[in-house]
Amino acid sequence: MHTSQDALGAGVELRLLQALVAVAEESSVSAAAVRLRVAQPSLSRQLRLLERRLGLRLFERSGRRLRVTAAAEPVVAAARQALATADEVVRTAHRVADGRTGRLAIGVRTGSSPLLLMDVLTAFRRRHPDVETSITELTDDQLHHGLREGRLDVALVRIAAPPDLPHQLLMKESLCLVVPSHHRLAGADRARIGDLAGERVIFYARSVQPVAHQWLTEQLRAAGLPTVLQEATLPNILATVAAGLAVSVLVSAYEAILRPPGIRFIPLDGLTVDLIMVWGPGPESPVLRAFRREIKHAAGP
């Protein structure tokens, strides 16, 4: 008595299953040989080999044609399913290799998802609908750890990237002075960092965005201004500014994304920040390569 383990141990290759299905569908060894582009004697040997390995007679004569035996009918059906599964394996492998399927974990700083990411994700989703994409807001340190430990595939950060992680400058983002609509500077077309003299400045907490917090502190110090920053989350930053209790410095993209009422975004002269793409060490997945191409294209030269 033959078992499935016997058949597996005997090595029933896909070519033997292809031979079985072709002969079953053509009812002729010669016609199946033409279809498979093999010599007829070779195909006959494959059928005899398959019968020995399965311990089952597969075909019987019906006039000048071959007919699948009753016992072999479920075998032929299973062979078709196996071949279809094998084809799907190949198609899946091609989709993975092309970056058309898989997973992509993206990290951004808490409260600071760039406008560029929104545009890129729309295009990436359209071209790669089978890629499972997630976006997580994290602090600077959490982003770096996530990349190093493989929990994140890519992250978008501003100002600086860890030297031990591969990274690429995407673009320089303009900055704005963010003031309430009734502020003395609300009607200005441009502003300078020195215009913050006498103002209370509110920004992200140092614990959440230490790099950006340190950068703004240094800019204020260089302008001869106090460096004490009131700390808050982005919604509270905007609410505090709208109430006239403080002003802030944010990337200009926030105006397009949020359009907060009661607030004016005034372009700051001479100040930009780098938007940087950072990814994990080790080999890149095809999905990551596809995403990197997409975002680099969107960012421009």
For the question of whether the overall pTM of this predicted structure is more than 0.75, the answer is no
Pick the range with the lowest mean pLDDT from 113-117, 192-196, 234-238, 266-270.
113-117
Instruction: pLDDT band for 113, please (50, 70, 90 cuts).
Output: low
Residues 287, 161: one domain?
Answer: yes
pLDDT tens string 131-168: 888 999 898 899 999 999 999 999 999 999 999 999 99
Check which CATH number belongs to the domain holding 76 and give it. 1.10.10.10
pLDDT tens digits, residue range 266-293?
A: 999 988 999 999 999 988 888 898 899 8
Residues 107, 80 share a domain: no
Domain count for the chain, please give it. Answer: 3
251 and 178 within one domain: yes
Same domain, 20 and 89: yes
User: Which domain covers residue 29, as residue numbers?
Assistant: 4-96
Q: Are 203 and 285 members of one domain? A: no
CB 120 within 8 A of CB 295: yes
- Whether residues 245 and 109 fall in one domain: no
Strand bridging mode 202-203 / 101-109? unpaired
The answer on 177 and 251 residing in a single domain is yes
Q: How far is it between the farthest Cα atoms of the chain?
A: 103
Q: What is the pLDDT of residue 194?
A: 93
Boundary of a domain, candidates 75, 96, 117: 96
The domain boundary residue, chosen from 81, 96, 111: 96
Which residues lie below 8 Å from residue 260, measured CB to CB, with a gap of 6+? 238, 242
Which helix (H) or strand (E) segment holds residue 120: the answer is helix 115-127
CATH number at residue 209: 3.40.190.10
Q: Which of 96, 115, 144 is the last residue of a domain?
A: 96
Query: Exposed, middle or buried: residue 137 (CB in 10 Å: 0-12, 13-18, 19+)?
Result: middle
pLDDT above 60 (res 2): no
Exposure letters 181-215 (e unless 16+ CB within 10 A, then b): eebebeeeeebebebbeebebbbbbeebbebbbeb
Task: Based on the fold, state whether residues 27 and 154 are members of the same structural domain.
Answer: no
Does 226 lie in the same domain as 186?
Answer: yes
Which of these, 239, 236, 245, 230, lies nearest to 261 by C-alpha position? Answer: 239
Q: Are residues 163 and 282 in the same domain?
A: yes
* Half-sphere CA count of 287, side-chain side, radius 13 A: 22
In the prediction, which pLDDT does 99 show?
A: 64
The reply to whether 125 and 11 lie within a common domain is: no
Does residue 191 share a domain with residue 264? Answer: yes
136 φψ region: left (φ > 0), alpha (ψ -120 to 50), beta (else): beta
